[in-house]
Amino acid sequence: MSLEGKVIFIVDDDYDYLYQLKFQLERWGCKVVTAESQKQAEDIIKNLKPDLAILDLMMEHEDSGFVLSYKMKGKYPDVPVIIATAVASETGMSFGLHAGEDKNWIKADTYLEKGLHPENLKKELEKLLK
């Protein structure tokens, strides 16, 4: 599957990470819309239905990504959402999206550790967009 022309919404308060991810996705032919905060993202999703969203977990608040994911799925239930985080490597905290209580309140399709190799990221995107 080609990612050509897919609209990907990226939200991250780390400008360097945001820029690198945007650059990579554009190389694959994606159209990329970005936001640098939960608030900015909430304003954007009022009028934008992307093909897929990649949301940082910790921004203004420790759960900003979860809140955004919840709001995104409430408005656009069919849009795949990825939570991108470095929280496990930085804090040792972990969570899962496939079972139990976490699945009930974390409205994301998957989560990825930041620093994922580009080809692995591409495979995840293609899987979620098929």
For residue 117, the domain's CATH number is 3.40.50.2300
Q: At what angle do helices 38-45 and 64-75 cross, to 10 degrees?
A: 0
Which helix H or strand E contains 17, and what residues bound it? helix 15-27
State the pLDDT at residue 89.
47
pLDDT tens figures, 76-130 = 999 999 998 875 444 455 544 444 444 455 677 888 888 878 898 899 999 999 8
Residues 57, 65 contacting (CB under 8 angstroms): yes
Residue 49 has pLDDT above 90, yes or no: yes
If we measure between CA atoms, which residue out of 31, 33, 36 comes closest to residue 15? 36
Residue 61 in domain:
yes
Mean pLDDT score of the chain, rounded to an integer? 84
The number of helices, as runs of H, and strands, as runs of E, in the chain is 6, 5
pTM (two decimals):
0.85
As for how many domains the chain has, the answer is 1
Per-residue confidence band for 62, with pLDDT thresholds at 50, 70 and 90:
confident
Q: Which residue has 């990649």 as its token pair?
A: 54
State the pLDDT at residue 59.
77
Determine what percent of the chain is predicted with pLDDT higher than 90: 52
Residues 41, 18 contacting (CB under 8 angstroms): no
First to last CA, the chain: 7
Residues 34, 22 contacting (CB under 8 angstroms): yes
Residue 2 in domain:
no
Residue 41 has pLDDT above 90, yes or no: yes
Tokens representing residue 88 in the block: 């496990």
Residue 103 in domain:
yes
- List, in sequence order, every residue forming a beta bridge with 122; answer none if it has no partner: none
State the pLDDT at residue 1.
65
Residue 1 in domain:
no
Q: Which domain holds residue 85?
A: 7-129
Residue 93 in domain:
yes
State phi, psi for 80 to the nearest 5 degrees.
-65, 140
